[in-house]
Amino acid sequence: MNQSFDYDIIVIGAGHAGCEAALAAARMGFRTAIFTMSLDSIGQMSCNPAIGGLAKSHLVKEIDALGGEMAKITDLAGIQFKILNKSKGPAVWATRVQADRALYRRHMRRALEVQAGLDIKQERIEEILIARGNVRGIKTNPVPGHESIPAHAGEEKRLYQAKAVIVATGTFLNGLIHIGLENFPAGRIGEPSSIHLSKSLNGLGLKIGRLKTGTPPRLDAKSIDFSVMQIQEGDVPPPPMSLFTEKITNPQLPCYMTYTNAHTHQTILDNLEHSPLYSGVIKGIGPRYCPSIEDKVVRFKEKIRHQIFLEPEGLDSDEYYANGISTSLPRDVQIKMVQSIKGLEGAKINKYGYAIEYDFVYPPQLKPTLETKIIEGLFLAGQINGTSGYEEAAAQGLVAGINASLKLKNKGPFVLGRHEAYIGVLIDDLVTKGTQEPYRMFTSRAEYRLLLRQDNADLRLLEKGHELGLINEQQHASFLNKKAAIASELKRIKSTRVKPHVINPILNKLGGSPVKEDTSLDQLLKRPEVRYVNIAEAAPSGNSISQDVIDQVEIQTKYTGYIRRQAEHAEKFRKVEEKIIPEGFVYKGINGLSREIVEKLEEVRPLNLGQAGRIPGVTPAAISLLMIAVAKGQRHSEEK
């Protein structure tokens, strides 16, 4: 008798990972349900009200190019847009957007509600159901106060069958909030943690660890003296995050900057015994690159002050997020600390800062598709895999949703290489190297960052999004027109030469040395002082060219040598990555491989020699032996 399924794919959690996973699965044609403990928390920005920033905007724009939702919702909710690092090279340019929390939630919930094939359910997940090593669905407990009630009077639990389950629970797994030495179970302030689900995952044989993150106090705007702070305006006009946004229409708000001082630091040092971080109450490891203010003061004693950015929570909100003073100190100490800061002497705290400990699953237990190695059809995405940040979570959610869908279609996996995308770097780092602390994306993690710029995410990935069915025909046609326009203009500036008497007056104004003979436009554009607008003045195109095409022409021309060299390195890397290690390959018995290296290889089960070489502790000598063994195995297979 055939088993019937309520859904093809079930997604647990409606945060940034869960929303992307559910939308991708539904858009790829599968009956999908997303489960949350609170409909009001769909797309909640639990920490800072911002999307993007250094390296993170690369992830967001890659999600966008593949057909994900985050960038579009960011543009609908954005109240300040800024390009960072403009004075540096394009590899490290980044877009950062302050968002209105309420608008972000509203627009993301709406995106889920109007998506065909997607149901939203407010129920608490008790257990993941497994049969013979395959996921079969979930057991739930309806959350009181919602229309989703048991089918029969007195029935408390519900069973939902599914062919694939994606777990995207954020900080809710066995979450424990700390304020001073007080602690209580919660997944977010005011929301219950998920204890039964954590036990269920542990019971499946997954190795679980403990991490910690934190958040700063939220302040009442009416009690802040902004006049003594440095104002931080956004860019005009606001640069959209999404490829598909034509114009930002929300009113734009400034941020403000102030600093801690010696009095602030002394207040913190005098109260460390009341900090759960320093009294031994918190066991989980916190983010090294986004430490609490307690950590900053203790670890960087030589610094006399630390920056604080006051960020608006929304257009209709009177709250400001005090970015830079994440803390879990007691409430009375938080008041003293905040009021010691310039401009905050009379500040009122609407919501106190807190730390949260939560369970995560060690990510080397996952395939690069984000499917667990021990349970067929069970995928994990987001903070459950040890990451920190909305953008990292959303990227994983999209990849998990795509791969769950491809699995049900009996198609090959969707795995991005390190040379193709920051998403590829993120997932490869997680499943190959693992993490002992909340993982955050940085440009320095990407070996080929000049190729993986935020400005060319569509040129790298949009075609893949179209092949997956996540980019529609209109979007694809627009992209093809853009590619053609870039190629045409690059060809024009190579073939067009200008005479000295035309270009030298322009070069003179720019402080550049004159030319003595006819010179091509692309040679002129390679000069550091020359911009596209200057060569267009000397020899206009004759066609209307959009700004994004101009940007690509300028970047590709100015950095052509560097880009070519990095592309050559990436091609060599790709060839190593193509040296596949067969599934089920036996490492035991390879002469020269130590027991420790064999254990590491068996734990990760790398897909290819490149991934094997990135496993911590696996030496180049071991890779040479492995290469020989794999080649020998292939010869034996061919002979058979």
Q: Nearest to residue 174, comparing CAs of 283, 330, 275?
A: 283
Supply the pLDDT for residue 282: 83
The percentage of residues in the chain with a pLDDT greater than 70, rounded to a whole number, is: 96
* 18 pLDDT more than 70: yes
- Does position 586 have pLDDT exceeding 50, yes or no? yes
Residue in 277, 315, 281, 245 with CA at minimum distance from that of residue 101: 315
Query: What band does 638 get if pLDDT is binned at 50, 70 and 90?
Result: low
Specify the pLDDT at position 149.
37
In this predicted structure, what is the pLDDT of residue 640? 57
Separation between Cα atoms, residue 355 and residue 329, nearest integer Å: 9
Q: What is the 3-state secondary structure (H, E, C) of 36-54?
A: ECCHHHCCCCCCCCEEECC
Pairing of the two strands 176-179 and 319-323: unpaired
pLDDT for res 190:
85
Class of residue 259 by CB neighbours under 10 A (exposed 0-12, middle 13-18, buried 19+): middle
At a CB cut-off of 8 Å and minimum separation 6, what does 211 contact? 284, 285, 286, 357, 358, 360, 383, 386, 437, 438
Match 């320095």 to its residue by tokens: 444
pLDDT tens-place string over residues 102-161: 999 999 999 999 999 999 999 999 999 999 999 999 999 876 544 433 334 344 689 999
Q: Residues 362-414: pLDDT tens digits?
A: 999 999 999 999 999 999 999 999 999 999 999 999 999 999 999 999 999 99
**Any idea where the domains of the chain sit in the sequence?**
218-355, 473-570, 579-639
- Do residues 627 and 620 make contact, with C-beta atoms less than 8 angstroms apart? no
Percent with pLDDT over 90 in the chain: 86
pLDDT tens track for 514-553: 999 999 999 999 999 999 999 999 999 888 899 999 999 9
Predicted pLDDT of residue 574: 86
| pLDDT attached to residue 351 | 96
The string of pLDDT tens digits covering residues 227-262 is 999 999 999 999 999 999 999 999 999 999 999 999
In the predicted model, what is the mean pLDDT of the chain? 93
pLDDT per position as a tens digit, 444-482: 999 999 999 999 999 999 999 999 999 999 999 999 999
Q: How confident is the model at residue 639 (pLDDT cuts 50, 70, 90)?
A: low
The CATH label, of 1.10.150.570, 3.40.50.970, 3.40.50.620, 1.10.260.40, for the domain at 579-639 is: 1.10.150.570
Task: Return the CATH number of the domain spanning residue range 218-355.
Answer: 2.40.30.260
Element (DSSP H or E) covering residue 117: none
Q: What is the pTM of this model?
A: 0.93
- Check whether 619 has a pLDDT greater than 70: yes
Q: How far apart are CA 552 and CA 61, in angstroms?
A: 15
Instruction: Please give the CATH topology (third level) of the domain spanning 473-570.
Output: Arc Repressor Mutant, subunit A (1.10.10)
For 53-66, the pLDDT digits (tens) are 999 999 999 999 99
DSSP per-residue string spanning 358-394: EEEE-GGGB-TTSBBSSSBTEEE-SGGGTB-SHHHHH
